């Protein structure tokens, strides 16, 4: 389970889509850029390949809840 999820707009104009995200998973911090189409561009450590699909699903659900609702 990911914890301490945070996001902020990439741009000063918050209407332009694109967000910096960060969170902890298995006691490791991960950072990335969440694009409008749901693609995540990892900017630091990349999660293990077996965890990426699960994490991307959780991040997408969090972004839908926080940004698009």
Q: Are 56 and 37 in contact (CB under 8 A)?
A: no
> What does the pLDDT look like over 2-22, one tens digit per residue?
999 999 999 888 777 889 999
> What does the pLDDT look like over 36-63, one tens digit per residue?
898 999 998 999 999 999 999 999 999 9
Q: Which of 16-20, 25-29, 30-34, 50-54 has the lowest mean pLDDT?
A: 16-20
How is the chain split into domains, by residue range? 2-66
In the block, tokens 């990335």 appear at 32
Q: What are phi and psi of 11, to 5 degrees?
A: -120, 155
Residue 30: pLDDT band with limits 50, 70, 90: very high
Structure confidence at residue 69 (pLDDT) = 62
d(CA 32, CA 22) in angstroms, rounded, equals: 7
Q: Are 20 and 8 in contact (CB under 8 A)?
A: yes
- Give the pTM: 0.86
Tokens read off for 9: 């707009």
């Amino acid at each position: 389970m990911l914890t301490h999820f945070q996001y902020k707009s990439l741009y000063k104009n918050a209407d332009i889509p694109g967000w910096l995200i960060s969170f902890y998973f298995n006691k490791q911090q991960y950072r990335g850029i969440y694009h409008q189409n749901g693609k995540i561009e990892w900017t630091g450590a990349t999660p293990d390949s077996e965890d990426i699909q699960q994490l991307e699903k959780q991040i997408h659900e969090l972004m839908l809840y926080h940004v698009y609702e």
